[in-house]
Amino acid sequence: MNLKNKKILITGASGGIGNALVKKFSNLDSKIVATGTNEQKLEKLKKNFENIHIEKFRLDEHSKIEEFIDKVDKKLEGFDILVNNAGINLDNLSIRLTEENWKRVLDINLTSTFLMCKFAIKKFLKKRYGKIINITSIVGHTGNLGQANYSASKAGIVAFSKSLAIEYAKKNININCVSPGFIKTDMTDNINEEFKKNLISKIPSGNLGTGEDVSNCVAFLASDMANYINGETIHVNGGMYMA
């Protein structure tokens, strides 16, 4: 799996899965722009890994996304791969979910991902090459208690990724999704132990996944080994959901 000198933009790089993605592509000698909103965590990434540029950027600033893609393209002297990993959740039961929190989750998780794809594809079309990997979620396929907004945003990513894949396949641009199940991160470390035990009991493998499990799959899709895979969603969930 050769990704040496491939130029990659990773969003949500300061989170648990984001860290694993940066580590994986750094170990594969890729050139990376890592973006997120936590400047302290981004600086730590820069210290820990080679071939990495960091850029603090808020994905909810939709009007600035095209300019941001231009900036990344110039910094890397053209980029090859976009990994849309950033996302938020604002959970509540549907009847208690505010319209504001519905819109905010959709704006960041779905609309921002669409715009990142749109302006990246414009760059990829010029060289007739590019790969996009969008990180969705198991709950985009199964739904989840208290996550109507989050589930809708992740399901939307799958659907629009398929449409993009159809539109640009003949231009040698591949768009795929990776759908993680429950992955061990700082967030899952804080889950109530009884709830976590119940959750794990529903996973055939009997354990939570790791960021590396997700990053291995993303790296495969980013490589030339996956050139004939397009419009697909690969599930990384220990068998919790089998599509």
User: Could you read off the pLDDT of 65-95 as tens digits, one per residue?
Assistant: 999 999 999 999 999 999 999 999 999 999 9
pLDDT at 99: 97
Q: How far apart are CA 28 and CA 25, in angstroms?
A: 5
Residue type at position 118? K
Judged by phi (left if over 0) then psi (alpha if -120 to 50, else beta), residue 172 lies in: left
pLDDT at 187: 67
Q: 79: which 2 tokens?
A: 């980029």
pLDDT at 94: 97
Task: List, in sequence order, every residue forming a beta bridge with 35; answer none if it has no partner.
Answer: 55
| Residues acting as catalytic residues | 150
Give me the DSSP letters along the chain.
Answer: ---TT-EEEESSTTSHHHHHHHHHHHHTT-EEEEEES-HHHHHHHHHH-SSEEEEE--TT-GGGHHHHHHHHHHHTTS--EEEE-------B-GGG--HHHHHHHHIIIIIHHHHHHHHHHHHHHHHT-EEEEEE--THHHH--TTBHHHHHHHHHHHHHHHHHHHHHGGGTEEEEEEEE-SB-SHHHHTS-HHHHHHHHHTSTTSS-B-HHHHHHHHHHHHSGGGTT--S-EEEESTTSS--
- CA distances to 74, 82, 146, 165, 221 from 78, rounded to whole Å, are 6, 12, 41, 21, 19
- Output the pTM of the full model: 0.95
Domains along the chain with CATH numbers: 7-236 (3.40.50.720)
Q: Using 70 as the pLDDT threshold, list the residues of the chain that sit under it.
A: 187, 190
